[in-house]
Structure 1
Amino acid sequence: MHVRCPDRLSEDVYREVLELLADLSPVVQALPPTCALVELKGALRYHGTDASHLGEMLRVRSISRLGVDVRVGIGPTITVAATASAQIDGPGGVLAVAPEQAADWLGPLPVQALHGVGPRQAAVLCDYGIHTIGLLAAVSPATVQRLLGKKAGRLAADRARGIDPRPVVPRALPASAAVRHRFARHTLDGATVRTALLDLVVQLGLLLRRRGQAARTLTLTLAFAPSWEKTRRLPEPSGHDEDLRILAYQLMDAAGLQRARLTGIVLKAEDLIDADQAAEQISLDTARESRLVAEQAVDRIRDRFGPASIGPAAVSPLHRAS
């Protein structure tokens, strides 16, 4: 069962929804900020009913107790269940796809509807005439790998065929991750502030990669009187320093600081997902690929010698994010 709550649901209410899911099955995997997975095999025998009825039970309880109408997708695999929950029209409902009907149900859907296929990947597939999940399933996996890359192509080809061996893993992931810096005195120097921000970017990126997570949005909070806060969405979920740095610098530039006396900075990654759910888009940027390889090497150095063993250099006052 894949459960989608309404967008912008508060963290407290989301946790209450997870508690309702735990009443149905002991195997619940949180997918912050608004989704969750539930393993139903043992729950069906325990409750003595079918999956659709459990989905309706969940909806009734969430509406009556929390005032939240959820969308529930049920299927033989995580991919089918998540795709089903995204196909429900309106604020809520239950869509159950039987194992023997999964291929026929997926086939006519547009390729971008397949859970795990990002918009850029879908655009590449459509450019080559692969407009539906059925056509994607009919194309040889080797061809899909040439179009999307080795790993992403293999996953897309397998999931279009209904192959998804991932289990539901009981887990409650943090909904966000934040790093903070407090200045020893009121700070006006732009170079000092940007250097502190870059250091937070490195700390946050390392924290996300160690957790195996990627962020969809980034929030920058500047502490002075009064405080300033702004949130922007990443183009694609990421836990890499370069992607976080570019957006963090854009947020800092948006603050339009001139003579503000800063006392602290908070950089917060939100809407976290598992890193393996972040689509790896096609890239011909060799410089970016080199940076990612270097980032992995730096992470290994920090793991061995400590987080402070290597860090960013001071930033020039004239430096701007590209």
Structure 2
Amino acid sequence: MDEYSKASHEITAILKERVPLIEKASIDEHYIDMTGMDRFHGTLKYAHELRQKVITETGLPISFGLSVNKTVSKMATNECKPNGELNIEQPGVQPFLNPLSIRKIPGLGEKTFIKLSDMGIKRIHALTLVHPDYMKSILGKNGLWLLQKAKGIDNSPVIPYQEQKSIGTQCTFKADSIDIETINHLLTSMVMDLAFELRQKQKLCACITVTIRYSTFEDVTKQATIPYTSLDSVLIKKTKELFREVYQKRILLRLVGVRLSNLVNGFEQIDLYTESEEQYSLCQALDKIRRRFGPQSIKLASSIDLNL
């Protein structure tokens, strides 16, 4: 995961320097708005050169789909993986989509796939022939959204990539404290809450920032880049390391804060037969309890009844 995260950052940096508008949709997926570039470079030629640039500088295979919107571009990319390129111009959109399985439509879930398949709708062409009213009657608004995608219609914009997107929390103590053990337990609780929020939003983070405020009202911050993750154990360990580094004066503290940033969409990459698999299974079990009984329904024993 360390190498995966490093490669993701490298590719993003290469793309950001060379395109007008980029959205980082996940660790290994970007959308680029190339509108207007055909007047100066030739959009397909520029996309090809950009792909070659990434391959040359990173040594990694990379694919792109160039088309009229995000949906068709994503589907084109999926069709030319693992190391290809595919250009679908407007007249060719429907001919490209028609023979594909409905499963290839981004955002179509397993239950919807089974339901449509049972109705005999297995290819995108068959889906385009269904009346909108009927689609709405069986799938609600999602049915109309799905029908639009099957017809290659998608007006969603490319949302500019923002490196500083983050979530965070902080705690001001009732009385200034130097109880390091209790503060570490508090940090554990804070990170667990933030990690749960990450997983609920299907996000991963690549940066942790710890802030402290001394009783003298001096603020000190320490930050570290990490492999993309949403695992409690990884984030807690790094947060405590940063706290040890940032807390140097050994005087009373008034506040501690934790912020997780460089967020992207995605799920944990789990290596089989490693500790990360066990940790992810544990997080899933805890999250299931939190979703049913509330975010504060289960915690580590050390983080309960903290008196700060």
TM-score, normalised to structure 2, is 0.59
Matches within 5 A, 1:1-322: 10-47=4-41, 49-51=42-44, 53-90=45-82, 92-150=83-141, 152-172=142-162, 202-204=193-195, 213-215=201-203, 218-221=230-233, 272-273=264-265, 312=296
CA deviation map 1:156-189 (0-9, x unaligned): 11111121111212223569868899xx6779xx
SS, match of residue 73 in structure 1: strand
Query: How far 1:128 sits from its partner (Å)?
Result: 1.8
SS, match of residue 139 in structure 1: coil
Query: How far 1:8 sits from its partner (Å)?
Result: 8.3
CA deviation map 1:218-271 (0-9, x unaligned): 4130768xx9xxxxxxxxxxxxxxxxxxxxxxxxxxxxxxxxxxxxxx9x8998
State the number of aligned residues: 231
Q: Partners in 2 of 1:316 and 1:24 — Cα distance?
A: 46
Q: Partners in 2 of 1:45 and 1:27 — Cα distance?
A: 16
Query: How far 1:113 sits from its partner (Å)?
Result: 0.6
8 Å CA contact retained: 2:21, 2:32: yes
Residues 173, 19 of structure 1: alpha-carbon distance in 2 compared, 3 angstrom cutoff: closer
8 Å CA contact retained: 1:215, 1:273: yes
Partner of 2:216: none
Q: Partners in 2 of 1:45 and 1:220 — Cα distance?
A: 49
8 Å CA contact retained: 2:163, 2:262: no
Q: Partners in 2 of 1:18 and 1:186 — Cα distance?
A: 39
The one-letter amino acid paired with 1:147 is I
8 Å CA contact retained: 2:98, 2:123: yes
SS, match of residue 20 in structure 1: helix
Aligned-residue CA RMSD (Å) = 4.5
The one-letter amino acid paired with 1:33 is I
8 Å CA contact retained: 2:164, 2:261: no
8 Å CA contact retained: 2:5, 2:27: yes
In structure 2, stretches of 5+ residues that fail to align are: 172-178, 205-228, 241-257, 267-287, 302-308
TM-score, normalised to structure 1, is 0.57
Residues 145, 22 of structure 1: alpha-carbon distance in 2 compared, 3 angstrom cutoff: same
Query: How far 1:138 sits from its partner (Å)?
Result: 1.3
Q: Partners in 2 of 1:31 and 1:153 — Cα distance?
A: 24
The one-letter amino acid paired with 1:165 is N
8 Å CA contact retained: 2:23, 2:158: yes
8 Å CA contact retained: 2:20, 2:34: no
The one-letter amino acid paired with 1:214 is Q
8 Å CA contact retained: 1:9, 1:34: no
Residues 69, 316 of structure 1: alpha-carbon distance in 2 compared, 3 angstrom cutoff: closer
Query: How far 1:111 sits from its partner (Å)?
Result: 0.3
8 Å CA contact retained: 1:176, 1:272: no
Q: Partners in 1 of 2:19 and 2:86 — Cα distance?
A: 19
Greater displacement, 37-46 / 95-104: 37-46
Percentage identity across paired residues of the two chains? 21
8 Å CA contact retained: 2:99, 2:125: yes
SS, match of residue 128 in structure 2: helix
Partner of 1:249: none
